[in-house]
Chains A and B, each alone.
Chain A
Amino acid sequence: MSEYIELHARSAFSFLEGASVPEELIAACSELEMPSMALLDRDGVYGSPRFHLAAKKNGIRAHIGAEISVQRPKDQSPKTNFARTEDIFSIPVLVRNRRGYQNLCRLISLMKLRVPKHAKPGECAVIPEELAAHADGLICLTGGDDGPLSGQGDTRKKQRIAEWLTAVFGKRNVYVELQRHFDREEEARNQALIEIAVRTDLPLLATNGVGYATPAQREVADVFTCIRNHVRLETAGRLLAQNSERYLKSAATMLKLFADLPEATANTAELSSRLEFTLEDLGYVFPKYPVPHGETMTSFLRQRTEEGACLRYTGGNGSPTYEQARPQIERELILIEKLKLEGYFLIVWDIVQFCRRAGILIQGRGSAANSAVCYSLGITAVDPIGMELLFERFLSEERGEWPDIDLDLPSGDQREKAIQYVYERYGKLGAAMTANVITYRGRSAAREVGKALDFDEETLSRLSGLVHTWEWKDPKDSSERQFRDAGLDLRNPRIKKFFQLYQMVQDLPRHLGQHSGGMVICQGQLDSVVPLEPAAMPGRVVVQWDKEDCADMGLIKVDLLGLGMMAVLEESIQLIRDSSGEEVDLAHLPPDDNSVYAALQKADTIGMFQVESRAQMSCLPRLRPQKFYDIVVQVAIIRPGPIVGNMVHPYLKRRQGRELVNYPHPLLEPVLKRTLGVPLFQEQLLKMAMICADFSGGEAEELRRAFGFKRSEARMKEIEIKLRRGMQRNGLSGKVQDEIVQAITSFALYGFPESHAASFALIAYASAYLKCNYLAAFTAALLNNQPMGFYQPFTLIKDAQRHGLKVLAVDITCSDWLCTLEPEGEGAETERLGEAKTNGRGERETRRWRDAEMGVDCQMSNTLVSVSRHPFALRLGLRYVKGLSEQSGRAIVRERTARPLAGIDDLRNRVPELRKDELRKLAAVGALNFIQIPRSPVSAKPKVHNPISNQKTFSVGDEVWEKKGVHRRDALWQVERVVRSAGALYEELLEKDGNSPLTPMTRSERIDADFRGTGLTIGKHPVAYYRAELNKLGVIRAIDVGKMRNGSLVRIAGWVIVRQRPGTAKGFVFLTLEDETGVSNIIITPQIFDRNRLVLVDHPFLLIEGALQNQDNVISVKAKCVQPLSFKVAAAPSHDFH
């Protein structure tokens, strides 16, 4: 047995107060042959799962504890009403048994949940009474520099504190801690502590107050001190460490250090032997679901499953019958009961039921879609029996891991409602989000290290600019080269030091965030399993462990993920219901809608879920989806797995009949038949192992994990031997074995589960169906849920317009906060023409002027292909006016609904929330052009719609109003009058009428104002205005590119809407250009990119000359020459570098 155990160490999970991750501490501990070690992070057990797992791997016993901030007892602190930093000390506590661990978690939760997330030091501390109530099972050390016995003060006072600690924790549970870091003052304090220990009869305990694993990491600790105190290394002075002695020291070194106090080191081993608790003994119990009297969770789950299965497995539409499904359901239920997971399934079912009741769309995704029970309970929408999915991918007995159910919800308020329901149902201390540990990476590391080294702002910007956001990394792009290119010399000692530190801080924890949707549930006792703390978002509580840690510790979680497209689907259905009364049921969409497959085959997929990206669009015309399963394949095929594993081209060739369908072995035909002999899904990989090597479902899943993200050479080797042995047994030859092993090895890392692809494909189909059949509602919903997806609103609108949708400008007389639908028909058109005459212009002329002002793109609809007429037009919402707050926007709608707005003065008076800049913005984008002007209230007439008269009149109460158009500058002129006062001197000069002397905006001014004010224009595409000039240059339109011969040299021009440099594309850059007729795809070779880097990255409009490539109707232009176009029109920024 070692004579010394380190019982006081902090990791980087003390956030800026420790410089090594738990794994590094354990590695050092293992090297020093120390049999156990304790981790005591500041006010938390953030790093304990990683510490525990690393220790387990190395055969080390991991003791758990924490340094708890405690308020000084009242009789010990100066009389003041305020908690000051000096009134708080840090008490290191070690967990002795499970009760102690639960108490520690509760203590930390109490302290953290009392104050907001970013509480100041002094606000977040345990009060002495709380400590006393939760001291059972904990061992108290007296700490180091910031412990209760540190600091100035006479020995008698310190003795009183020691006596207080003894009273709180019990006589045997307090140790007087001695640390020796070769510090004169510390030694003087040690002598005082020895005296106190003798007087109070407390045992001594030697520790090193470890802050890092190796002496070299002291530099990181110093940098963290600077970051914490907002100082530079040069000016930090004595805030920095005095020396580098807080590293993990060997037993021999510690024995030598404490040679005069052998009992202090001997006590470490004695105390270690008293610490029974490890995280193996967490005490987490699976959540229970409250069932009606007389029922058990098992019977309740069985009933609910049976009810659901009867409804779902009807045998209709080619789905299995209930009888066919029953054996699989029974098999699953038996396993669920065996693993005692009934409560978990019922809890998820309960959440789904709540969402159904509240009208919130919800759908399970991921491996849960492999379960027939989940399908029967309505958790998932994909039938795993019908699709022959593998249940073991979701749950297996052998694996010893708990299932992971991901639920997709509409992002935003709806998802928040579901989260709040879980809190409400299981109590504040019964449910919490999983954490997300934010680590030092890239720019943040560069900036903060640079600041500590006192680099000036310019150098800091250059240094942080070195961290590329491009996904593709040039192999020649060494750090030396990057630094040299940025004008920084790595031979300069300070730059060199920066570089060293930058690398050292990579991946060290910085602070705790919250995971996007993972929730852990534990029936009102979660705070005894893991400490809870508030999230930055009000009403949210997070656990101190991240998703991986929770999984490693066996905590079951439910992922409530926000999916923008779910919100779009939900809102589209609502819009359709509100506008036409039609009810669209997503669960019963026509399965073979021709328009959907026609659009997919043409890659006309802008705005559709999962199939709108450039890579998907270039694959669609080759894959030509004809049935739902093709969409499942389409969703899964453009992924790193199939791409890296070279599966895409064989599959497409076989699909087009250009390559024979064959299988590595006849045994595999049933598994690979659906994907033409090419493995595309993880389930296929699992089944391959099951068939070829007689693996059980659980073993196959184990194999997938072994080859997955957390690869371990030894484990992989072990499983490969097992796999080959099994294949040998089944008579598979060496070559076939190699082929299968190769497929599994390359694919397991990035493969996509079929169940997940199927869940996504359902949403993709629904989005495509809505786009093809209810374009107005779908586009409005898409616009209302931005930002999301692949394209900017401008591109979405242009695409919708090309499909014949009429888009109407923002107008405060009819726009809501969100985009809405307006009936579009003869009446509406006449009404529009009627209005135009009001201004005394000829009908045609006025229409032209009005179209320009409103942005109606008549020319576009003439120039484009088949344009179907839609019954509804899309009215842009006020949310698209940049800088207009939601509060103001909604106030406008509220007032307008109560009574029409009588001019800009009236608007200003009735909507006091509107700031002057908001009014200006509304006027600049033309939203005030149609505000009503009051006419004399002579006679009340009913609402009249006169197609001949050029004005629309209607009555509200006794007043008669006329709706009269003004141009944007008129509105701007009026707006300025209402927002600013003239001043006393000029009162006599005030104008009598509000007639504007300003001229209307020109075309380019309007486009500019549109882009500045809304980020889009509903008028003609900016490129369209330059078509004549472009024609002279020989530029062809995007719509005409497809008509050109393959290999011919073409010139195309447009606005760059997407720039991509994917990691798998070997440095190639892909641009998407848009003109008034559509989009075209450009391929830029690395050489062309290097030559034209600035032009390609910075310019919004480009002219590209290159060779046309038409492969199976996938059209792209391989650029040979790139030129910037200096169009004098504005454009929205592109969507870059995915």
Chain B
Amino acid sequence: MFACIYSQNIKESLSLANFAYVFSPLVEETKQDTVVIDVEGCELLFGSAYELANEVSVRAGHLKVDGGLEGKVNVAISSNPDAAIHAATFLKGITFISPGEELTCLGDLPVQVLDYSLINLEKKQADEIFETLRLWGVRTFQEFAALPLAGIAERLGPQGIQLQQLASGKTERHLKLKQPAPIFANSIELEHAIAELEPLSFIFARLLNQLCATLNAYALATNELLVQIKLADRTTHERKLSLPYPMRDHKVFLKLLLLDTEMHPPQAAVVAVSITCQPVKPRVLQNGLFIPLAPEPEKLELTLARLAKLVGKENIGSPEIIDTHRPDSFRMKRFALKSKPDFRKRRGGSAKRQSAIGNRQCLGFRVFRPPLRAIVKADQGCPTQISAWGKQRSVYGKVVSLAGPWRTTGDWWSNDRWARDEWDVALESASGIKKHGSQSQVLYRIYRELNNGTWFVEGNYD
């Protein structure tokens, strides 16, 4: 016999399957709100099947702390698990279906409620059959079951037969038993608070060892480690390590974690540590014969972590140009090795948006970061004299020749609109930067924000 437990309004924090394990170890989690348990042999513990159903119903009403579901459930007992599912889903309270009496209980249910997923039927196929049944005027399980088998076989095919068996409560199948999910988390509470990195590293090593062993056992890896450290001042110090590739090397994890802890040390002594990881499929890579060897990702990650420790995380990565006319527009993205060089992208990709001229006259340009705020004298909008001072450099002088303005405006649809005029100006060599010794003129790019009229020196040309 099988018992189906159905709860329509189960809280998210509660699990129907965990509740069902109290009654039988053989649990099928059919859906989030439906479980089926095999109650064969439970008589010794709970008495008759009806008593068992009663017990389920009563215990479901208990509070969570008492192992209950804090609500009402429907329970149906039947020799057929699918009949039990339909009965529990659509009949309130406790339903007991004697073998062969399935249609007595379920016969009046409309055929559209048949759970076709139980026989692995696709929605499209099921909808087609339901539409045919609608045209035939077949409305209930009873009417469907009463149709001749041969007639159904001829008209609705094997799927029709299966669906009819489902309506009659005559399907034959085994439960798909639920397996407990592996836990990819580990934690430890310390007897004495730790205030130094070295002893903490042993704790990390122990937890990471166990975690990696679990990952190994399931042939998985992780690309995210979440470390939660409880501190003596009752606060929690949380760190998340995101990895560019899935890994499961506990030594690498340990080094990365230590580097990160050095950069972001906890503000008080540590009293408990918990590490959780997000399991993902490991990386599979086959390098080409002619592709130059790149450093091991793990080693690269460690190197980057060490560099980040030195220069700060925001100052490391690969610059990426943004597709916009906004000048000097780029973002930093995490540095990562390309698995394969993308030849196709290089050839066609942005040809449409590229510059209209060749590179033959391009000069090297050195950008001042940040740009120098400048005072510019202008005659009819054209700059004639520039003065700009910064901490490291200063630019000043009379404009000897100029080109421009080069005007860009954009993002007019957002609050972040911009508009600026650029000029390429040659100054007499009175500026702070000398150009290759003997030359007497230096070429700068200056620009004016059109929104507020402020001038800046953006950089100089080589």
Contact = CB atoms under 8 A, between A and B. Distances in A.
Interface of A: 145, 150-154, 181-189, 192, 218-219, 222, 233, 235, 237-240, 242-245, 453, 493-494, 497, 920, 923-924, 969, 972-973, 976-977, 980-983, 985-986, 989-991, 997-999, 1001-1002, 1005, 1009
B153 A145 contact: no
Contacts of B354: 152
A185 B137 contact: no
Nearest to A238: B353
A980 B160 CA distance: 11
Contacts of A222: 412
B358 interface: yes
A982 B412 contact: no
Interface stretch (B110-118, B304-312, B403-411): B403-411
B157 A972 contact: no
Contacts of A235: 323
Interface in B274-325: 322-325
Contact of A184 (B149, B158, B406): B406
B153 A182 contact: no
Contacts of A923: 135
Contacts of A150: 356
B405 A980 contact: no
Given A188-B361, A494-B413, A998 B323 contact: no
A997 B148 contact: yes
Given A243-B408, A493-B415, A983 B153 contact: yes
Interface residues of B, number: 45
Of B151, B156, B358, chain A has the most CB atoms within 10 Å of the CB of: B151
Contacts of A192: 357
B324 A238 contact: yes
Nearest to A236: B323
A240 B325 contact: yes
A68 to B, nearest CB: 21
7 nearest A-B pairs in the assembled complex, by CB-CB distance: A237-B323, A976-B155, A986-B153, A182-B407, A991-B150, A238-B353, A989-B150
B409 A188 contact: no
A151 B356 contact: yes
Given A182-B407, A972-B135, A982 B413 contact: no
B429 to A, nearest CB: 24
Interface string B131-149: 0100111100000001111
A186 B150 contact: no
B356 A242 contact: no
22 contacts: A153-B358, A182-B407, A183-B406, A189-B357, A218-B412, A222-B412, A494-B413, A497-B413, A969-B137, A977-B155, A980-B154, A980-B155, A981-B157, A983-B153, A983-B157, A985-B158, A986-B154, A990-B154, A991-B154, A997-B146, A998-B136, A998-B137
A152 B357 contact: yes
Of A182, A219, A245, A494, chain B has the most CB atoms within 10 Å of the CB of: A182
A753 to B, nearest CB: 49
A985 B160 CA distance: 13
A453 B413 CA distance: 8
A218 B361 CA distance: 31
B439 interface: no
Contacts of A991: 148, 150-151, 154
Given A152-B356, A182-B404, 12 more contacts: A152-B357, A181-B407, A185-B355, A192-B357, A235-B323, A242-B325, A243-B407, A243-B408, A983-B153, A986-B153, A986-B154, A990-B154
B403 to A, nearest CB: 8
A981 B159 CA distance: 11
Of A237, A239, A990, chain B has the most CB atoms within 10 Å of the CB of: A237
A182 B323 contact: no
A244 B151 contact: no
Contact of A242 (B150, B156, B405, B408): B408
Contacts of A182: 404-407, 421
Contacts of A997: 146-148, 151
Interface in B356-406: 356-358, 361, 403-406
A976 B132 contact: yes
B161 interface: yes
A972 B353 contact: no
Contacts of B147: 997
A336 B324 CA distance: 64
B156 A238 contact: no
Contact of A982 (B146, B157, B361, B403): B157
A983 B161 CA distance: 11
Contacts of B409: 242-244
A122 to B, nearest CB: 13
A192 B157 CA distance: 75
Contacts of B324: 237-238
Contacts of B325: 238, 240, 242-243
Given A182-B421, A999-B137, A973 B358 contact: no
Interface of B: 132, 135-138, 146-151, 153-158, 161, 322-325, 352-358, 361, 403-410, 412-415, 419, 421-422
A983 B414 CA distance: 62
Contact of B158 (A145, A239, A240, A986): A986
Given A185-B357, A991-B150, A973 B137 contact: no
Given A182-B421, A238-B324, A997-B148, A982 B136 contact: no
Nearest to B147: A997
B353 A237 contact: yes
A152 B404 CA distance: 22
B296 to A, nearest CB: 36
A976 B148 CA distance: 14
Contacts of A983: 153, 157-158
A924 B150 contact: no
A261 to B, nearest CB: 15
B353 to A, nearest CB: 4
A1129 to B, nearest CB: 16
B407 to A, nearest CB: 4
Nearest to A216: B412
Nearest to A86: B351
Contact of A924 (B135, B146, B322): B135
Nearest to B329: A237
Contacts of A1005: 137
Contact of A976 (B156, B408, B410): B156
A185 B153 contact: no
B139 to A, nearest CB: 11
Contacts of A245: 407
Nearest to B404: A182
Of A188, A497, A923, A1005, chain B has the most CB atoms within 10 Å of the CB of: A188
A986 B152 CA distance: 10
Nearest to B407: A182
A382 to B, nearest CB: 54
B154 A185 contact: no
Contacts of B153: 982-983, 986, 989-990
Contacts of A183: 406-407
B274 to A, nearest CB: 39
Nearest to A245: B407
A985 B161 CA distance: 11
A152 B362 CA distance: 14
Contacts of B403: 187
B413 A973 contact: no
A920 B157 CA distance: 17
A242 B412 CA distance: 11
Contacts of B138: 998
Nearest to A985: B158
B158 A152 contact: no
A980 B150 contact: no
A87 B324 CA distance: 26
A56 to B, nearest CB: 35
Contacts of B356: 145, 150-152, 185-186, 189
A260 B408 CA distance: 23
B267 to A, nearest CB: 41
B130 to A, nearest CB: 13
